[in-house]
Structure 1
Amino acid sequence: MADERERRWKLALGGDDEGLDAPDVRLSRALTALYNPDDEGARRGGLKRSAPSVARWLGDIREFFPASVVQVVQKDAFERMGLKEMLLQPEFLQAVEADVNLVADLMSLRGVMPEKTRDTARQVIAKVVAELMERLERRTAEALRGAVDRSRRTTRPRFADIDWPRTIRANLAQYQPAYGTVVPERLVGFMRRQRRIVDLDEVILCVDQSGSMAASVVYASIFAAVMASLPVVSTRLVCFDTSVLDLTDDLADPVEVLFGVQLGGGTDINQAVAYCEERIERPAKAHLVMITDLHEGGDSLSLVARIRRLKSIGVNVIVLLALSDQGRPAYDARLAGIVAGYGIPVFACTPDQFPSLMAAALRREDVLAWAAGEDIKAVRPEDPPAEES
């Protein structure tokens, strides 16, 4: 108890990091940088008026405090540290790299920004979104652009649709001994099935916008925008905390989507899934991708029952604990295990893996087998609680 009191006093007073563990040192320096900037600790861990330091500091603040406190601290930072002026400086924009965490920081600051600062932040977000779209768009489009129809062949296939065994056999006469290979004059491949509008698969991305899911929200929004631009699927983006925000109509502009997200707040996953359930028109053609750490603040029993019901009527339900470049996320292990116990895939994946995941889902393949092939460790099933047995 005495050690805990000493820890709390050190965090409250700042400047003395001796005896604190690494997370507490980060917390102490983050607060010292704002509330006691003349202290030696601030010189070691302060903002130093540089874009990377600001991004790191804001990320630390969001990690250590609940959303309500984060808003107060950020507001103090705007007033005390001149962050408003920094965001308006062209040098700041030039220093910013395409970083998802920085986008999340700017999104969380939106509520305390004056209008001119918001315009500048929108430019930064637009730059990051453009670079992420360039990285992810082509791969996503190729992965989702319809199932391959192997009953029909073409001599002008896309690269991904080339039937290499048949192509090699058809070009054996072009074997080049000097190079030890065949030079194909004629490609043989599969034609893609043309899909009617009425036959489109429905994809609903249901995204937790609590502070811990910030990077996942950014990536999910960009993927939703890409998928919405493709004529092969019908895409809906739903973000939630204790309320539900349907951003589907804004998907043509991913920057606008991100400005519509409000990071932080509580979490009512059951309410969000209920909203999605009401909008599913054809369960056998529907895919519900829940992106959440499953820290349910609402009715977890109703949530599990609702997910089970959706699966039973044919909806392809997948739970992603995170969609980010980071490692294994923090999540509610008990609830994740219960959901996995009903045969629903529960795991985290990276943005680079997501297009392949969605392609497997649209083909109704075994998603757990896909995850194993990607060396992704899925959550192990747990026995359901007695009242659900």
Structure 2
Amino acid sequence: MTIDDDAVHDDDTADTAAERARRWRLVLGDPAAAELPALGGADVAMDGALAALYEASGSRKGGLGKSAPSVARWLGDIRKYFPSTVVQVMQHDAVERLNLYSLLTEPELIDSIEPDIEMVTTLIGLGRAIPESSKASARALVRKVVDEVERRIADRTRSAVGAALDRAARVHRPKLRDIDWNATIARNLHNYLPEQKTIVPERLVGHGRRAQVVGKDIVLAIDQSGSMASSVVYASIFGAVIATMRSVRTSLVVFDTEVVDLTDKLDDPVDVLFGTTLGGGTDINRAIAYCQGLISRPTDSIFVLISDLYEGGIREEMLKRVAHLRADGVQVVVLLALSDEGAPAFDREIAGDLAALGIPAFACTPDAFPDLLAVAISRGDIVGWADANELSRRGMSDEE
């Protein structure tokens, strides 16, 4: 049998030629844009991810610095559009081109740098691409930011959550040592006797003995997609702070298309952060299904979902699960972001479906989160709180 060269050439179809042109365009970048067909669809995002890493001054080399709009989003994009073997190469290239390698291998630079949330999201996003010899330095930088944020939020979080738990634990037949005299007086003011200058306390209000009792269960479920990077950092730190309170049982779950329970790492938020994998797909339904299994006391549970709501799983089933949680008595809170950056792009249709269930989806700043959590623990009006803080409206109007 012989091979006809002309026949082989004829088999080189227009589709094959177009695929070759597409690949060359992705390899060569913008300089080839005039000579090769324009890119479309997902290829535009792929080209952008390649350009961010390799393109500077017209050539594909250098370039991914602090001027990049979001390193964490870039890390998510490359996991979405490229196979794992290519992702590993690009991540290692990023370590070099971000100048992180020299930073992490020279201790004197670590002492001089002022790390921030962006640096943390970059480091945890690179993950395994960080050289083994540099991982201790990377953790040291992350620790600096985590400690600073924890100092900022810890006292207020414990105060707000503790007060809400006190209110939730009040009883009306307290022992003498447990009477809340201020609340009791306020409750019985209508029984004031002017001639006696005294109040007859028909109803006592007191605190339950909750020191050895878990009063509330809080489950935090955090989307690991690239746009949620800052939220992952803040939520991990909040989770670690809340976990120190004996009267709260705290669970922390991160997810993309897989679900990872990091509850056993809550004693150190740095361990939590290095247990995450920023980027990739999203299966909210699968995450909620796992969290449902963690909830054994629905009416004493708060479920906080932090996600941009771009569902890659079964959206109808996801909405049914949320509805079931709410119907069972779980206090459900949905945050589009937990950061100082406002709401990211998000799925407005799902946000609207949640609103129809009486569950608003909104962005929340770290400074406001302790108060929000207190409202949830007290089973207060989440919708009213969000509207009063203009968070719901802001979240729905930031991205069009």
Instruction: Provide the residue aligned with 1:261 in structure 2.
Output: 276
1:370 aligns with 2:385: yes
Are 1:35 and 2:54 matched, yes or no?
A: yes
What is the one-letter code of the residue matched to 1:84? Y
Residue of structure 2 equivalent to 1:58: 71
CA shift, 1:61, in A, is 3.1
Matched ranges for 1:1-389 at <5 A: 12-14=28-30, 34-35=53-54, 39=57, 46=63, 52=66, 58-59=71-72, 61-62=74-75, 65-67=78-80, 69=82, 71-78=88-95, 83-145=100-162, 146-148=165-167, 152-153=180-181, 194-195=209-210, 197-378=212-393
Taking the aligned partners of 2:263 and 2:139, their CA distance within structure 1 comes to 20
Aligned-residue offset at 1:41: 7.9
Give the CA deviation at 1:264: 1.5
The answer to whether the 8 A contact 1:98-1:132 is kept is no
TM-score (norm 2): 0.72
User: 2:254·2:261 contact (CA, 8 Å) conserved in 1?
Assistant: yes
Shift of residue 136, structure 1, vs aligned partner = 0.7
**Residue 108 of structure 1 aligns to a residue in which SS?**
helix
Amino acid aligned to 2:139: R
Q: Which segment drifts farther, 261-270 or 349-358?
A: 261-270
Q: Is contact 2:214-2:247 (8 Å) kept?
A: no
Deviations 1:17-61 (A, max 9, x none): 9xxxxxxxxx99985675355x47899x9468xxx56x8673463
Partner residue in 2 for 1:170: none
Partner of 2:305, secondary structure, is: strand
Amino acid at match of 2:180: R
Asked if 2 retains the 8 angstrom alpha-carbon contact of 1:47 and 1:57, the reply is no
Contact 2:49–2:78, Cα closer than 8 Å, also in 1 = no
User: Computing the radius of gyration over CA atoms, which structure comes out larger, 1 or 2?
Assistant: 2
Asked if structure 1 preserves the Cα contact closer than 8 Å seen for 2:77 and 2:280, the reply is: no
1:62 CA drift (Å) = 3.3
Find the aligned partners of 2:115 and 2:160 in 1 and give their Cα distance: 24
- 1:340 CA drift (Å): 1.3
The answer to whether the 8 Å contact 1:15/1:28 transfers is no
Deviation at 1:91, TM superposition (A): 4.5
Which segment is superposed worse, 66-75 or 119-128? 66-75
Give 3-state SS (helix, strand or coil) of 2:312's partner. coil
Partners in 2 of 1:209 and 1:92 — Cα distance? 29
Q: Deviations over 1:178-219 (max 9, x none)?
A: xxxxxxxxxxxx986542544511000011111121111111
Contact 1:33 1:41 in 2 (8 A): no
Distance (Å, rounded) in 2 between the aligned partners of 1:201 and 1:373:
25
Mapped partners of 2:103, 2:128: distance in 1: 17
Q: Distance in 2 between matches of 1:108 and 1:90?
A: 21
Q: Deviations for 1:157-179, whole angstroms, at most 9, x for unmatched residues?
A: 9xxxxx9xx9xxxxxxxxxxxxx
Percent identity of paired positions between Structure 1 and Structure 2: 43
The answer to whether the 8 A contact 1:152-1:191 is kept is: yes
> How many pairs does the alignment contain?
331
CA offsets per residue over residues 136-167 of structure 1, 9 Å max, x none?
1111011011324596237xx9xxxxx9xx9x
Give distance in 2, aligned partners of 1:255 and 1:217: 11
1:269 to partner: Cα distance: 0.8
CA distance in 2, matches of 1:279, 1:355: 22
> Cα 1:147–1:277, aligned 2, differ >3 Å: closer, same or farther?
same
By how many angstroms is 1:123 displaced?
Answer: 0.5
Q: Which consecutive unaligned segments of at least 5 residues does structure 1 have?
A: 18-26, 158-162, 167-189, 381-389
Cα shift at 1:345: 2.5
Compared CA separation, residues 14 and 130, structure 1 to 2 (3 A): same
Please tell me whether the aligned partners of residues 286 and 316 of structure 1 are also in contact (alpha carbons under 8 angstroms).
Answer: yes
Q: Which runs of 5+ in 2 are unaligned?
A: 1-20, 34-45, 172-178, 190-204
Provide the secondary structure at the position in 1 that maps to 2:390: coil
Q: 66-75 or 114-123, which moves further after superposition?
A: 66-75
